């Protein structure tokens, strides 16, 4: 069964550094998402992406964040200048369809980001 994959599984970085988290969505899916979960807190929506454009973003997704689909398979989340509070588990998800009534979202295993 196809799965969403994410690399790396754990990323450690210094405050102020740029990080890129990578995801390979399920191959025939068209809608892509990033979520994050700070330790002990809820899973929070960051951004949705379709047709090479951001469809929606949360208030967390400020100017230091960006997403890109650089080729036909990868979907990346870039954090330009990391802060301590960016330490979290970042989940990528994809779905075949989207829109106001979301199709089933399939999640990756997550990347644990630690900012020192």
Partner 1 sequence: AQRVTQPEKLLSVFKGAPVELKCNYSYSGSPELFWYVQYSRQRLQLLLRHISRESIKGFTADLNKGETSFHLKKPFAQEEDSAMYYCALSGYSWGKLQFGAGTQVVVTP
Contact footprint for partner 1 (CB under 8 A): 3-4, 31, 33, 35, 41-45, 48, 50, 55-56, 58, 91, 95, 98-110
Residue 114 Cβ, how far from partner 1 at the closest point, in Å? 18
- Identity of the residue, 14 or 27, whose beta carbon is nearer to partner 1 in the bound complex: 27
Nearer to partner 1, 65 or 98 (CB): 98
Of the two residues 15 and 38, which places its CB atom closer to partner 1 in the complex?
A: 38
Q: Which residues pair with 53 in a beta bridge?
A: 50
CB of 91 to partner 1, least distance (A): 7
CB 21 → partner 1: shortest distance, Å? Answer: 15
Is there a contact between 105 and 94 (Cβ–Cβ < 8 Å)? yes
State the minimum distance, in angstroms, from the CB of residue 106 to partner 1: 8
Q: Which residues of 18-54 are buried (b: 16+ CB within 10 A; e: fewer)?
A: ebebbbbbbeebebbbbbbeeeeeeebbbbbbbeeee
Contact partners, residue 54, CB within 8 Å, separation at least 6: 47, 48, 67
């Amino acid at each position: 069964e196809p799965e969403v994959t994410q690399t790396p599984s754990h990323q450690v970085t210094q405050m102020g550094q740029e990080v890129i988290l990578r995801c390979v969505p399920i191959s025939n899916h068209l809608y892509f998402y990033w979520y994050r979960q700070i330790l002990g807190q809820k899973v929070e929506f960051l951004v949705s992406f379709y047709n090479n454009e951001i469809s929606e973003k949360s208030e967390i997704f400020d100017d230091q964040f960006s997403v890109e689909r650089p080729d036909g398979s990868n979907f990346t989340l870039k954090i330009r200048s990391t802060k301590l509070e960016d330490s979290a588990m970042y989940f990528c998800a994809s779905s075949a369809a989207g829109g106001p009534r979301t199709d089933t979202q399939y999640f990756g295993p997550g990347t644990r980001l630690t900012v020192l």
